[in-house]
A and B are shown apart, each in its own frame.
Chain A
Amino acid sequence: MKRHKSVFAVLVVILLAVSPVVEAAKGNWKKGRIYYRMVCTDCHVNQAGGKISPAEKTKAEWAEYFEKNIHGPQDAPAKYAASYFVSKEYRESIKDTNRAAAKMLKIPDEQLLEDVKAFLNHTAKDSDQPSRCE
């Protein structure tokens, strides 16, 4: 039991040491933007028929979207999870036709999902976007 305790203590220390790094790494909006524009938008515009924009939804609506985790298609909404479309499995399936998916093949699913979420939050309808003089 003593040994277990010491193992546990070491692990806790490691966990604490690693946490700040992870905090910084959680959701890189610029990477999320690359994936969103080059994979999500590319498919929506060229195959799924229509422009998409992060500003379609508020931050809360995006959070709800990922909570439900349903991507569509519309006639069978539950067929694919939203998270599937950032997964390695999906990236693997399109890597020959999509350079961004090929380039980002090795990013862990959870990390990429966070990146995309960070971008959508960054650019959501109610985000504090840079103002323009138009």
Chain B
Amino acid sequence: MKLSYIQRIAGAVLGYCSLLLLMAAFSGTSYAVSTADHTRFKELQQDFKSGPEVTRACIKCHTEAAKQIHKTNHWTWEFLNPDNKQRLGKRNILNNFCITPQSNFAYCTACHIGYGWKDETFDFTSEESVDCLVCHDSTGTYSKPPGKAGHPKDTVDLKHVAQQVDKTSRDTCGACHFFGGGGNGVKHGDMDDSLAVPERELDVHMDAVGEDFTCATCHRHVEHDVAGSRYTPEAAHSEDYHIHRKQFEEENNAHCRACHGNKPHKKVDKSRLNNHAKKIACQTCHIPRIARGGVATRVTWDWSTAGKLDESGNPLQQRVDGNLVYHGKRGTFTYAANVEPEYIWFNGEVRYLLLNEKAVVNEDGYVPINDFGGSPDDGKSRIWPVKVFRGVQPYDPVMGTLVVPHTTGLNEDAYWKNFDWEKAITAGMLSAGQPFSGKVDFIKTQMSWPINHMVAPAEDAVGCDECHSKNGRLKDIEGIYIPSRDASVRLDTAGWFITLLTLVGVLMHGFGRIVSNLWSKR
């Protein structure tokens, strides 16, 4: 049968249509579809010139969003520890990575959820300064470069980004949290961009073709306030609760037990592990190693070697295996990948060394910038995995305090411009309102970072004998009896001696019988 021209066109069109329908059907299956199509909102159909312009459009409908943001740590970068009244938060504390945002705000606020925080004059009550897009972008094209005080790159198509807003994702949270400390995986060890699309082995919950958790699945929010802060973490084995049994508003869900309860090992042969949970955090066994996703985490940072320039006068840069090991602006780094964390007793109490406090060296020769409380006997500590980050950073040997260096920017005081520590620290301390003697020295410091992410599948959990052995992972943990690690030396000495004595005794007795037997035969 001969097909007419029209029939052939119709057939082709029909085929095309069915293909398109099929594609559309499949493309819609795995992504939750919102009830609102933001491309159709008039407010968003304009060529936005700046971030705040977008925010003005957002808060026309989302009237409370910016006000909610204003109350959160993500906005204030400030946190008052209710237990010890320390004023913490990113804007107040020091670390041994980039040291502190103070006097460097325009650079560091690339990771602030706002626009325009370049110095102390920033208006924290401004609603249009809230950056909605950095958390709600779904296009992966939104980005905030250092130096612009949190404003996006000029090349970002704000209209496109605004029309494609979505819930937060591993990408949006990760845009800052994967890159803490100035690079991929640098700071935490349990967070880097391998978690954007993790395999099951890397993170059993976030597994991109499995459970596919986002950060917000555990770090749930109430009125934009995200649960789970490392300033007051919960470390103890506390009361059982279950997410399904309580209103989520009541509780912080960023804990294993929010879903798994207090007795998570259900199999009969594993049930004795539930008892371990009283003394050992889930993370200790279920995060066998950190930096497992192929991205190395930085483990040391020596600022004292900074300042070397190459032939053309630019800061010298050296890389080994793709990792930056030296940068003229920052100093020397070392890395570790797929590495066992360290273990400590931890009760959730964290004390920071603040700028106005004397830096005191501990028995290992390091100044602890944050001190994790805990002991085997206080009834609320458990053994926790931590990444311990060790550094060498500038300090004031006369005042005995750590210092704020003004590193960033193009002005004459900035260390990255003139490589003069004295000038940089004078400017930094002035900006921070702290006294500085004018003398610069370097001191060894350390920080601990609790390990919570990269939870492995159960079958990859730390095996029994990795702790129940003489030189196991917990060999330095005191105050607890670990079978196979701890046995009474006196008992063992006496026990084996008597065993040996008995053996020798019977052998001699037997030998005597043999001899006497032979003798009597003769």
* A interface residues, Cβ below 8 angstroms from B: 1, 4-5, 7-8, 11-12, 14-15, 18-19, 21-22, 24-25, 28-31, 33-34, 37-38, 99-100, 102-104, 106-108, 110-111, 122, 128-134
Tell me, in angstroms, the Cα distance from A133 to B206 when the chains sit together: 26
Q: Is A11 in contact with B30, judged by CB distance below 8 angstroms?
A: no
Q: Is A33 in contact with B143, judged by CB distance below 8 angstroms?
A: no
Give the interface SS of chain A, mostly helix, strand, loop or mixed: helix
Q: Is B27 in contact with A106, judged by CB distance below 8 angstroms?
A: no
Q: Which of A1, A18, A33 has the most chain B CB within a 10 Å cutoff?
A: A18
Q: Is A34 in contact with B146, judged by CB distance below 8 angstroms?
A: no
Q: Which of A18, A110, A134 has the most chain B CB within a 10 Å cutoff?
A: A134
Tell me, in angstroms, the Cα distance from A102 to B209 when the chains sit together: 9
Known pairs A1-B6, A18-B24, A111-B27 / 18 extra A-B pairs, C-beta < 8 Å: A7-B10, A8-B6, A11-B17, A25-B27, A28-B27, A33-B196, A38-B199, A99-B210, A106-B26, A108-B22, A108-B23, A110-B23, A122-B141, A130-B142, A131-B146, A131-B153, A132-B183, A133-B182
What are 29 inter-chain pairs, A to B, with CB distance below 8 A? A7-B10, A8-B10, A22-B20, A22-B24, A24-B27, A25-B27, A25-B28, A30-B140, A31-B30, A33-B197, A37-B208, A99-B200, A100-B208, A100-B209, A102-B209, A104-B209, A106-B26, A108-B19, A111-B26, A111-B27, A122-B140, A122-B141, A129-B143, A131-B146, A131-B153, A132-B179, A132-B183, A133-B183, A134-B183
Q: Is B458 an interface residue (CB 8 A)?
A: no
Q: Is B410 an interface residue (CB 8 A)?
A: no
Return B117 CB to nearest CB of chain A, in Å.
Answer: 15
Smallest CB gap from A37: residue in B: B197
The 10 closest A-B pairs by CB, nearest first: A25-B27, A130-B143, A134-B183, A103-B209, A4-B6, A131-B145, A133-B146, A21-B24, A11-B13, A37-B197
Tell me, in angstroms, the Cα distance from A19 to B324 when the chains sit together: 47
Tell me, in angstroms, the Cα distance from A106 to B249 when the chains sit together: 39
Known: A4-B10, A8-B10. A130 touches B175 (CB 8 A): yes
Q: Which of B118-153 touch A at CB < 8 Å?
A: 140-143, 145-146, 153
B residues near A1, Cβ cutoff 8 Å: 6
A residues near B7, Cβ cutoff 8 Å: 4
Smallest CB gap from B164: residue in A: A24
Tell me, in angstroms, the Cα distance from A25 to B29 when the chains sit together: 11
B residues near A24, Cβ cutoff 8 Å: 27
For chain B, which range describes its interface: under 10, 10 to 19, 20 to 34, or 35 or more residues? 35 or more
B residues near A102, Cβ cutoff 8 Å: 209
B residues near A108, Cβ cutoff 8 Å: 19, 22-23, 26
B residues near A28, Cβ cutoff 8 Å: 27, 31
Return A88 CB to nearest CB of chain B, in Å.
Answer: 12
Q: Is B26 in contact with A107, judged by CB distance below 8 angstroms?
A: yes
Return A130 CB to nearest CB of chain B, in Å.
Answer: 4
Smallest CB gap from B31: residue in A: A28
Q: Is A11 in contact with B14, judged by CB distance below 8 angstroms?
A: yes
* B interface residues, Cβ below 8 angstroms from A: 4, 6-7, 9-10, 13-14, 16-17, 19-24, 26-28, 30-31, 98, 107, 110, 140-143, 145-146, 153, 155-156, 171, 175, 179, 182-184, 186, 196-197, 199-200, 208-210, 324
Q: Is B184 in contact with A132, judged by CB distance below 8 angstroms?
A: yes
B residues near A129, Cβ cutoff 8 Å: 143
Smallest CB gap from A122: residue in B: B140
Tell me, in angstroms, the Cα distance from A40 to B6 when the chains sit together: 43
A residues near B199, Cβ cutoff 8 Å: 38
Q: Is B13 in contact with A15, judged by CB distance below 8 angstroms?
A: yes
Smallest CB gap from B179: residue in A: A132
Smallest CB gap from A27: residue in B: B27
Tell me, in angstroms, the Cα distance from A12 to B31 when the chains sit together: 28
Smallest CB gap from A100: residue in B: B209
Tell me, in angstroms, the Cα distance from A110 to B24 when the chains sit together: 12
Return A92 CB to nearest CB of chain B, in Å.
Answer: 16
B residues near A38, Cβ cutoff 8 Å: 197, 199, 208-209
Q: Is B21 in contact with A18, judged by CB distance below 8 angstroms?
A: yes
Q: Is B140 in contact with A34, judged by CB distance below 8 angstroms?
A: no
Return A120 CB to nearest CB of chain B, in Å.
Answer: 13
Return A114 CB to nearest CB of chain B, in Å.
Answer: 8
Q: Is A8 in contact with B183, judged by CB distance below 8 angstroms?
A: no
Tell me, in angstroms, the Cα distance from A19 to B196 when the chains sit together: 31
A residues near B210, Cβ cutoff 8 Å: 99
Return A42 CB to nearest CB of chain B, in Å.
Answer: 8
Return A16 CB to nearest CB of chain B, in Å.
Answer: 10
Q: Is B140 in contact with A29, judged by CB distance below 8 angstroms?
A: yes
Tell me, in angstroms, the Cα distance from A108 to B182 when the chains sit together: 40
Return A59 CB to nearest CB of chain B, in Å.
Answer: 14
Tell me, in angstroms, the Cα distance from A85 to B44 when the chains sit together: 39
Tell me, in angstroms, the Cα distance from A133 to B197 when the chains sit together: 22
Tell me, in angstroms, the Cα distance from A11 to B21 when the chains sit together: 13
Return A91 CB to nearest CB of chain B, in Å.
Answer: 12
Smallest CB gap from A1: residue in B: B6
Tell me, in angstroms, the Cα distance from A24 to B199 when the chains sit together: 27
Tell me, in angstroms, the Cα distance from A91 to B17 when the chains sit together: 25
Q: Is B146 in contact with A5, judged by CB distance below 8 angstroms?
A: no
Known: A8-B9, A132-B179, A134-B183. A14 touches B17 (CB 8 A): yes
A residues near B155, Cβ cutoff 8 Å: 128
